[in-house]
A and B are shown apart, each in its own frame.
Chain A
Amino acid sequence: DARVTQTPRHKVTEMGQEVTMRCQPILGHNTVFWYRQTMMQGLELLAYFRNRAPLDDSGMPKDRFSAEMPDATLATLKIQPSEPRDSAVYFCASGRPGGPGEQYFGPGTRLTVT
């Protein structure tokens, strides 16, 4: 049963610290998406990759957030420095080549910045 995995599942950190979230997409999927979910804003797209190349990161605060795909099995989302307003659940999703937009979501990383 292929699934998207995310680590850590929970992260509590202090303001100003660096946070790194990791995602392993489903093997064979060529698109990866990072989303942030909050009660106030709902689900927001932060960044999206196809074949490891970043195609859209317009939803991401550029000064503190960065997203990369070092290889096809790993995507990372970093926040440096973190702020309390970054507290949210961060989801990674992956999609198949040629698929009509269907995305498979991981369980999320719940981030709390104090």
Chain B
Amino acid sequence: AQSVTQLGSHVSVSEGALVLLRCNYSSSVPPYLFWYVQYPNQGLQLLLKYTSAATLVKGINGFEAEFKKSETSFHLTKPSAHMSDAAEYFCAVSVGGRDDKIIFGKGTRLHILP
């Protein structure tokens, strides 16, 4: 069965520092992988997605993620954190086949320190 594990429910970084949010997945089929962001009092918004093309995926707001099959990882990075990046981030994996569902991780709350 498909699943995702996000390491760290809370991550704090200083403004201007590297952001690294970790996600490992488990999938019995070639996965589609996603990162979503949720700002306070809003719904989830797609940051980026991996659909078996390039392993390095660029998203909105300067974020990118790299698919590493050997490590079953899809970590999210941003070179320089901005105060506006403070939010909750969810990694997700598609169930696969004809099933439209995606399985979300428990989320990582990113705090930006001034």
A103 at the interface (CB under 8 A from B): yes
In the complex, the answer to whether A102 meets B34 with C-beta atoms within 8 Å is: yes
Tell me whether A54 is interfacial, beta carbon within 8 Å. Answer: no
Q: Which residues of B contact A95 (CB under 8 A)?
A: 100
- Is B51's beta carbon under 8 Å from chain A? yes
Cβ–Cβ < 8 Å partners of B94 in chain A: 100-101
| Known contacts A42-B106, A42-B107, A43-B90; A105 and B100 CB within 8 A of each other | no
Q: Would you call B25 an interface residue if the criterion is a C-beta within 8 Å of the partner chain's C-beta atoms?
A: no
**Which of the residues A43, A48, A104 comes within 8 Å of B100, measured between beta carbons?**
A48
Are B44 and A91 neighbours in the complex by a CB distance under 8 Å? yes
- Which residue on B lies nearest to A43, using beta carbons? B104
Residues on B with C-beta less than 8 A from A48 are 100-101
Residues of chain B having any CB pair with chain A under 8 Å:
32, 34, 36, 42-46, 49, 51, 90, 92, 94-95, 100-102, 104, 106-107
In addition to A101-B95, A103-B102, 17 A-B residue pairs with Cβ atoms within 8 Å of each other are A33-B101, A42-B107, A43-B44, A43-B90, A43-B104, A48-B101, A50-B100, A56-B101, A91-B44, A100-B94, A101-B34, A101-B94, A102-B34, A102-B49, A103-B44, A105-B36, A106-B43
4 tightest Cβ-Cβ pairs between the two chains A and B: A105-B43, A101-B94, A100-B32, A101-B102
Instruction: Give chain A's interface residues, CB within 8 Å of chain B.
Output: 4, 31, 33, 42-43, 45, 48, 50, 55-56, 91, 93, 95, 99-108
13 contacts between A and B (CB under 8 A): A31-B100, A42-B104, A43-B44, A43-B90, A43-B107, A93-B44, A100-B51, A101-B94, A102-B46, A102-B49, A105-B36, A106-B43, A108-B42
